[in-house]
């Protein structure tokens, strides 16, 4: 099979389109013919080993342990290992491979059956592959960590990105009053996703506004979390999603101090969760949320897709179509 292989840490230039052995399913696994994948910030963090502790978390101190990257996947079951009961060859499935060895940037992958779900009935392969990592981050950030409630005033910074586009729709679903922050070219996109208010950061600095928010989800992370402190209502929560290592440690350091001031500052730790993904699948099937897809790339173009993501100017998700 063909795959995009990462044999050393570095820029997208280290990625190679190569022929590698096709994996065979072991007990409890399914073999999946991949039809689509999507690119996430985690892919370039793993590719670059940035921050450095990624080498310790995922193995591979000197070179990558996981040579084929990619977490989000959608495709068709082609074979099953012994003990598999949920799926049969021909089933259309999707899921998150980040805790089962990655491997979505390839023509085939084997994964434990519990990491996969039947695809949403209304979704294409590309739409299904865009869902798991970004939508789970938005859902877990707003609902699990942020404790969103009907009537909450929610600010989503980076509302036009992969996580942000899902966050706008999910916050609206929970009955929040949603404000999205984005650039001029993305104002109409964010408004179409359900934001009640849209702030164009090229024209207005949201941190200088008078509005107060119960929950701020920062999926852009360009500014210090301290810049958002004046925007928090009493008992409000600032939640960092992604960003640089410096921003991550700054938010973690500020957390205990801010708690004494009656507000929360947290870093989102999002993890695969089959129950949460099942909930999101239902929201897709009901038409409550939908993937906003920025661009589609071919499998051999994964390096270009990652370069595009690293520019941090995407409009929704960057998808890989595997022919």
124 and 209 fall within a common domain: no
Distance of CA 181 to the CA centre of its chain: 18
23 and 123 fall within a common domain: yes
Within a domain: residue 287?
no
Phi and psi angles of residue 311, each rounded to the nearest 5 degrees, phi first: -70, -15
Q: Which of 4, 15, 10 is nearest to 48 (CA)?
A: 10
pLDDT of residue 52: 76
- Answer positive or negative: Cα dihedral of 303, 309, 315, 319: positive
Q: Which of 323, 310, 312 is nearest to 10 (CA)?
A: 310
Phi and psi angles of residue 97, each rounded to the nearest 5 degrees, phi first: -100, 10
Q: Which of 89, 54, 64 is nearest to 4 (CA)?
A: 64
Q: What residue numbers bound the domain in which 155 lies?
A: 133-267
Name 17's Cβ contacts closer than 8 Å, sequence gap at least 6: 2, 3, 4, 5, 299, 300, 302
Q: How many helical (H) and strand (E) elements, i.e. helices and strands, does the chain have?
A: 9, 15
Within a domain: residue 8?
yes
107 and 9 fall within a common domain: yes
pLDDT of residue 323: 83
Dump pLDDT digits (tens) for 277-295. Answer: 999 999 999 999 999 999 9
200 and 232 fall within a common domain: yes
CATH classification of the domain holding 19: 3.90.180.10
pLDDT of residue 115: 96
Task: Encode burial over 243-253: b for 16+ CB neighbours within 10 A, e otherwise.
Answer: beeebeebbee
Number of domains in the chain: 2
Dump pLDDT digits (tens) for 231-263. Answer: 999 999 999 997 766 777 777 777 777 788 888
84 and 140 fall within a common domain: no
Percent of the chain surpassing pLDDT 90: 79
Name 208's Cβ contacts closer than 8 Å, sequence gap at least 6: none
3-class state of residue 9 by DSSP = coil
224 and 195 fall within a common domain: yes
Within a domain: residue 109?
yes
Dump pLDDT digits (tens) for 19-28. Answer: 999 999 999 9
Q: How far apart are CA 315 and CA 323, in angstroms?
A: 24
Within a domain: residue 280?
no
61 and 167 fall within a common domain: no
pLDDT of residue 191: 98
CATH classification of the domain holding 261: 3.40.50.720
6 and 38 fall within a common domain: yes
167 and 189 fall within a common domain: yes
Within a domain: residue 277?
no
Within a domain: residue 284?
no
Contact indicator for 9, 49 with CB cutoff of 8 Å = yes
154 and 251 fall within a common domain: yes
Within a domain: residue 6?
yes
């Amino acid at each position: 099979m063909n795959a995009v292989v990462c044999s050393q840490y570095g820029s997208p230039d280290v990625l190679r389109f190569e022929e590698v052995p096709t994996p065979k399913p072991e007990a409890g696994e399914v073999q999946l013919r991949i039809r689509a994948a999507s690119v996430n910030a985690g892919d370039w963090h793993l590719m670059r080993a940035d921050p450095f502790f990624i080498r310790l978390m995922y193995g591979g101190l000197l070179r990558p342990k996981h040579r084929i990257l990619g977490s989000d996947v959608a495709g068709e079951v082609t074979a099953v290992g012994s003990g598999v009961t949920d799926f049969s060859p021909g089933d259309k499935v999707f899921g998150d491979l980040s805790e089962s060895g990655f491997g979505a940037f390839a023509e085939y992958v084997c994964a434990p059956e519990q990491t996969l779900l039947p695809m949403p009935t209304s979704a294409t392969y590309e739409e299904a592959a865009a869902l798991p990592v970004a939508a789970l981050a938005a859902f877990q950030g707003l609902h699990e960590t942020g404790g969103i409630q009907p009537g909450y005033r929610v600010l989503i910074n980076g509302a036009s990105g992969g996580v942000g586009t899902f966050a706008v729709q999910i916050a609206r679903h929970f009955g929040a009053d949603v404000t999205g922050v984005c650039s001029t070219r993305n104002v109409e996109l964010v408004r179409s996703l359900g934001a009640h208010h849209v702030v164009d950061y090229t024209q207005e600095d949201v941190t200088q506004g008078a509005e107060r928010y119960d929950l701020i989800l920062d999926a852009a992370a360009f500014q210090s979390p301290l810049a958002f402190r004046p925007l928090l209502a009493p008992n409000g929560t600032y939640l960092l999603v992604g960003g640089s290592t410096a921003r991550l440690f700054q938010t973690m350091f500020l957390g205990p101090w801010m708690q004494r001031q009656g507000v929360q500052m947290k870093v989102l730790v999002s993890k695969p969760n089959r129950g949460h993904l099942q909930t999101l699948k239902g929201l897709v099937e009901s038409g409550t949320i939908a993937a906003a897809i920025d661009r589609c790339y071919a499998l051999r173009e994964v390096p270009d897709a990652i370069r595009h993501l690293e520019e941090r100017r995407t409009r929704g998700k960057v998808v890989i179509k595997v022919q």
